[in-house]
């Protein structure tokens, strides 16, 4: 144990979205998009990270400080209702990926046509050589003809890979064939999550889990040739409404928490900005966004041009960043224990340190091309972002029990009374006039029992009447008791 420095703890988010000073390209584009689109910051940044992941996942891996090398691909989920401008944000960043794919597919047509002509010529020559081979009688001539046929077979034109890497409504087989035969780095996502949630690929979330981890996927087929998808990468971003997510959870046959699908996800459920946005007619600059997208284009084309994707560069941590990551990982592990904030979300917590490492590698390599050692600044930004997103995950998938929410509502309701000096209140008064959520005796009792643990209030009996003393740590005050009870019958 190193006692020369203070340990670091997680989460560190105070509820405010992190400052992106350590990532100026991302920060400037975020400011520009936020001003022009007026969409939630967390939504914008998660789209940015998904775009960066798509561009870099084919070129780099990241080495965790625990001697584990993993992909940098991310699985992201944005939950926002209609009108939050999901499509507009998506078009600001994913548009460059769509434009690149469209251009590459146009170029591919010409390349593929050339391949077809060469293949036809090659096939005709194959037929001629086979006929010649069948006519040879002596061993020496037969051997020469066979060698010539073998050499011709080895020189068969190579079918060009289809440069498709964007998928939306796709079957499991189509995605895996694409990763196997075409580009082994793909993006699967939609700004209309209902479409993706209803697609066939979502019936096989275990395969998505394997791809997230960089593992092989073995596909056995009865009628067609079986194959193995090896060393492929998949970035995923589902932008959905609550209703579509709930419908998917209701229909899914998989235990999506148990099998780790949602545990791997970086989730944001931003507070709605609807009703607070005003148009000005001002034409906002697009320079920062264009600069961001130019970097994406450069990185993506470099990755596509790689001849062997198994030669990905391994990104490492600087010594200082390594110590910070280890502290954070250890603190998260402690918080998974009894009474810890992640006691009921061990699946999610177990993936947070790796997601921090992936995001840190993405941010650092995007902002600093050619530098493959993660700085402590890039790591801290990743920690802050994952801290923010982790809180959203907990709010969405691990909400507090009803009695905790009821206690919060009751505490807010009591604040004006406490501020005005009210100390005693009949329990029946709270039951009758308090928040709607605690109008049942059992609900009120559970909320009060929870509040008693951290507040000085107590429940007392006076002539068979249940009274709530809001300042039980003070000396009893009979005159205040008479005054309060006369007022709050």
**pLDDT tens digits for range 217-245:** 887 665 667 778 889 999 999 999 888 88
pLDDT at 12 over 70: no
Phi/psi of residue 31, each to 5°?
-55, -45
Of 89-93, 108-112, 145-149, the poorest mean pLDDT is in: 145-149
Q: What angle do CA 388, 389, 394 make, to 5 degrees?
A: 105
C-beta neighbour count of 404 within 10 angstroms: 14
Position with higher pLDDT, 298 vs 400 = 298
Q: How confident is the model at residue 1 (pLDDT cuts 50, 70, 90)?
A: very low
Q: How confident is the model at residue 256 (pLDDT cuts 50, 70, 90)?
A: low
Contact between residue 357 and residue 325 where contact means Cβ atoms under 8 Å apart: yes
pLDDT, position 254: 61
Contact between residue 398 and residue 367 where contact means Cβ atoms under 8 Å apart: no
pLDDT, position 274: 79
Mean pLDDT of 27-50: 94
pLDDT at 319 over 50: yes
pLDDT, position 472: 85
pLDDT, position 2: 43
CA-closest candidate to residue 78, choices 196, 219, 170:
196
- Where exactly does CATH 1.10.10 map onto the chain? 402-487
- List the helix and strand counts (H, then E) for the chain: 16, 14
Contact between residue 81 and residue 74 where contact means Cβ atoms under 8 Å apart: no
Position with higher pLDDT, 203 vs 435 = 435
Of 246-250, 253-257, 316-320, 339-343, the poorest mean pLDDT is in: 253-257
Report the share of the chain in percent with pLDDT over 70: 95
pLDDT at 325 over 80: yes
The DSSP code for 439 is -
The DSSP code for 323 is H
The pTM for the full model equals: 0.81
d(CA 253, CA 256): 9
pLDDT at 22 over 50: yes
Of 197-206, 228-237, 311-320, 391-400, the poorest mean pLDDT is in: 197-206
Position with higher pLDDT, 168 vs 234 = 234
CATH, domain 24-104+162-397, list 3.40.1130, 1.10.10, 3.40.50, 2.60.120? 3.40.50
- Where exactly does CATH 3.40.50 map onto the chain? 24-104+162-397
402-487 CATH: 1.10.10
pLDDT, position 4: 44
Contact between residue 232 and residue 211 where contact means Cβ atoms under 8 Å apart: yes
Residues paired with residue 313 on neighbouring β-strands, in sequence order: 60
d(CA 300, CA 313): 14
Phi/psi of residue 153, each to 5°?
-65, -40
């Amino acid at each position: 144990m190193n006692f020369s420095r203070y340990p670091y703890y997680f989460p560190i988010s105070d509820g405010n979205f992190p400052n992106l000073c350590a990532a100026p390209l991302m920060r400037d584009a975020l400011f520009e998009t936020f001003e022009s689109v007026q969409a939630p910051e967390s939504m914008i940044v998660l789209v940015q990270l998904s775009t960066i992941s798509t561009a870099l996942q084919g070129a780099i891996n990241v080495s965790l400080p625990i001697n584990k090398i993993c992909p940098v691909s991310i699985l992201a989920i944005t939950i926002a209702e209609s009108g939050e401008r999901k499509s507009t944000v998506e078009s600001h960043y994913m548009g460059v990926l769509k434009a690149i794919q469209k251009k590459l597919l146009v170029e591919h047509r010409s390349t593929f046509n050339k391949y077809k002509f060469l293949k036809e010529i090659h096939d005709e020559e194959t037929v001629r050589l086979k006929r010649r081979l069948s006519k040879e009688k002596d061993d020496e001539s037969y051997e020469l003809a066979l060698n010539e046929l073998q050499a011709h077979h080895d020189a068969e034109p190579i079918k060009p890979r289809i440069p498709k890497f964007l998928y939306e409504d796709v079957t499991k087989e189509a995605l895996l064939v694409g990763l196997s035969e075409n580009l082994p780095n793909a993006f699967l996502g939609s700004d209309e999550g209902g479409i993706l949630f209803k697609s066939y690929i979502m019936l096989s979330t275990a395969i998505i889990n394997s791809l997230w981890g960089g593992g092989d996927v073995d596909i056995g087929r009865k009628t067609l040739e079986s194959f193995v998808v090896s060393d492929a990468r998949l970035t995923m971003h589902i932008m959905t409404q609550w209703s579509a997510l709930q419908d998917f959870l209701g229909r899914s046959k998989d235990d999506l928490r148990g099998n780790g699908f949602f545990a791997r996800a970086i989730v944001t459920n931003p507070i709605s900005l609807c009703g607070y946005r005003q148009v000005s007619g001002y034409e906002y600059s697009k320079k920062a966004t264009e600069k961001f997208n130019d970097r994406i284009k450069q990185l993506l084309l470099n990755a596509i041009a790689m001849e062997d994707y198994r030669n990905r560069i391994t990104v490492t941590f600087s010594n200082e960043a390594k110590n910070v990551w280890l502290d954070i990982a250890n603190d998260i592990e402690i918080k998974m224990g009894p009474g810890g904030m992640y006691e009921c979300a061990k699946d999610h917590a177990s993936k947070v340190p790796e997601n921090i490492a992936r995001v840190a590698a993405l941010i650092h390599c995007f902002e600093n091309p050619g530098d493959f050692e993660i700085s402590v600044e890039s790591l801290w930004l990743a920690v802050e972002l994952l801290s923010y997103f982790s809180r959203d995950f907990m709010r969405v998938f691990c909400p507090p029990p009803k009695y905790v929410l009821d206690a919060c509502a009751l505490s807010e309701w009591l604040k004006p009374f406490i501020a005005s000096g009210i100390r005693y209140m009949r329990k029946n008064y709270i039951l009758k006039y308090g928040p709607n959520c605690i109008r049942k005796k059992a609900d009120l009792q559970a909320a009060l029992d929870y509040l008693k643990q951290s507040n000085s209030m107590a429940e007392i009996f006076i002539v068979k009447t249940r009274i709530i003393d809001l300042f039980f740590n003070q000396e009893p005050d009979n005159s205040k008791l008479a005054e309060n009870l006369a007022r709050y019958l």
